[in-house]
Amino acid sequence: MCENCVHDDVRIGPSRRSLIHLTVSAVGLAFAGAAFAKETKPPPKPQNVLSPDASLKRLMEGNARYVDGVSRRHDFKHEREALAGGQNPFAAVLGCADSRIAPEYAFDTGRGDLFVCRVAGNFAGTETIASMEYAVAVLGAPLILVLGHDACGAVDATLKALKDDKPPPGHIPSLVDAIAPSAKAAMQQGGDVLDKAIRQNVIDNVAKLKSAAPILDAAVGQGKLRVAGGIYRLATGTVDLIAQG
């Protein structure tokens, strides 16, 4: 083989470095294609793609139907297939674990509409904040509602523990510690301390979620997230907004 042929063969054949670059590029394009496909995949419930303001409006319209006893019939059967592959709730709710309050009923919603976290005293602990971050950053929820309720047993137990200076048994003191700041603020105000403590607890946890860095506070600052608060009235089912974000 002549010298020129050898040079031509070397020049035409791909080098080891070129092969590496091609491989990396191919992998990069594959990941990019997968990410693009995921981003362009239509949401299972297109009607849930709402602005923060529209989400709150939809919640309150649903509550009005619930209060009036004209809740809609939800077709759970035909939603299952679409929701099996994903979810895009239009709101997240941090509510109390009280058995008398069910956010899905109170706001007349169906499956896949609400991302709900419930804990006695509806306070934002570490795990709850993480869950809300997931709802906002991954699922795209544009609204978080902190939902308290009147005659809350967890808040009442906290007030009694503070007044008697005697912690409750078991793991219940962890609830007391979380609610105590709001309860102490209400005790200084006087009057109907329980109602004021319930209200203050909602307001304080709205503020806590709005300022939770680095995810929730950024979403609020960008106008992608609204954090509101409300109190569910046991006698009527009405949700009174007390902190609208």
**Exposure on the CB side of residue 238, measured as CA atoms within 13 A:** 6
Contact 145, 132 (CB under 8 A): no
Yes or no: say if 60 and 239 are a contact pair by the CB < 8 Å rule: yes
pLDDT band of residue 40 (cuts 50, 70, 90) is: low
Higher pLDDT, 77 or 100: 100
For residues 24-45, give the mean pLDDT. 53
Q: Is residue 105 within 8 Å of residue 66, measured between CB atoms?
A: yes
Residue 145's nearest CA partner among 102, 175, 115, 182 is 115
CA count, 13 A, side-chain hemisphere, 212: 26
β-bridge partners, 186 = none
pTM of the model: 0.83
Q: State residue 177's pLDDT score.
A: 97
To the nearest whole percent, how much of the chain has pLDDT over 70?
Answer: 84
Class of domain 46-243: alpha beta
End-to-end CA distance of the chain: 80
Q: Where are the domains of the chain?
A: 3-32, 46-243
> What value does the mean pLDDT take over residues 141-145?
98
| The pair of three-digit structure tokens given for residue 208, joined into one six-digit string | 């806590």
pLDDT at 109 over 80: yes
Mean pLDDT computed over every residue of the chain: 87
Pick the residue with more confidence: 60 or 29? 60
Neighbours of 14 (CB within 10 A): 10
* Separation between Cα atoms, residue 72 and residue 85, nearest integer Å: 25
